[in-house]
């Protein structure tokens, strides 16, 4: 079954990712506890693309949540679908990236990336036939852009023959809250061109 491993990095990536799982769970007839309550066999036909089946017939998203500070993770956990995720798949630091691409890519992020890869490896090993990876992240901050692209390049090294797909939120001058957004974005785009097969650029 052509499984997809989903990653979400940084505040923006995690907020969009959390919403993505709400929508996809609803589509498959899965409630916030991971139990199937659907009304059509079609809902279960391709469920393995995004979910692992756990004991007791529960469905668990094949998702890895990444951030350099705990705040957004806490929000997801206390959100409507917070209990559906595998607790070990929340990988976070304490320092934050301070909207600094280099912190996410070279210092703070580099310290956390091995822990992320351990979780990714575990998810990939549980797949029959891994199709590839998808990431939601923003390019304007520090974690989604810096650590997001670091994670992508490391995954690319380890799984060179798998698809790498990103949904990248590109900064907009209309809602800019960080003066260094253009730098973070430019540094990220270079990485994405090198290491992804498809990047969907989404206007913020």
Alpha helix locations (H) across the chain? Answer: 10-27, 42-45, 71-77, 101-106, 108-125, 148-158, 181-195
Domains (ranges, CATH) in the chain? 2-203 (3.40.50.1440)
Mean pLDDT, 10 residues at a time, over the chain (204 residues)? 95 97 97 94 94 94 98 95 96 95 97 98 96 98 97 98 97 88 97 98 94
pLDDT recorded at residue 173 = 85
From 140, 122, 125, 117, select the one nearest 66 (Cα to Cα). 117
Taking the C-alpha atoms of residue 136 and residue 134, their distance in angstroms, rounded to an integer, is 7
pLDDT per residue over 43-96, tens digit each?
A: 999 999 999 999 999 999 999 999 999 999 999 999 999 999 999 999 999 999
| Mean per-residue pLDDT over the chain, rounded | 96
Stated pTM of the model: 0.95
Give the model's pLDDT for residue 176.
81
């Amino acid at each position: 079954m052509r499984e997809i491993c989903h990653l979400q990095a940084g505040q923006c990536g995690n907020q969009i990712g959390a919403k993505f799982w709400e929508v996809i769970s609803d589509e498959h007839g899965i409630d916030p506890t991971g139990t199937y309550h659907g009304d059509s066999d079609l809902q279960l036909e391709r469920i393995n693309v995004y979910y692992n089946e756990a004991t007791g017939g529960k469905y668990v998203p094949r998702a890895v949540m990444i951030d350099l500070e705990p705040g957004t993770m806490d929000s997801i956990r206390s959100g409507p679908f917070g209990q559906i995720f595998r607790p070990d798949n929340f990988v976070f630091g304490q320092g934050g990236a301070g909207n600094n691409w280099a912190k996410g890519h070279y210092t703070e992020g580099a310290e956390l990336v091995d822990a992320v890869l351990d979780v990714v490896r575990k998810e990939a090993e549980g797949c029959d036939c891994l199709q590839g990876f998808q990431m939601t992240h923003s390019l304007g901050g520090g974690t989604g852009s810096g650590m997001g692209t670091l994670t992508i390049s490391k995954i690319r090294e380890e799984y060179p023959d798998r698809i790498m797909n990103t949904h990248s939120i590109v900064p907009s001058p209309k809602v800019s809250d960080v003066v260094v957004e253009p730098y973070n974005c430019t540094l990220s785009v270079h990485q994405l061109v090198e290491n992804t097969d498809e990047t969907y650029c989404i206007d913020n």
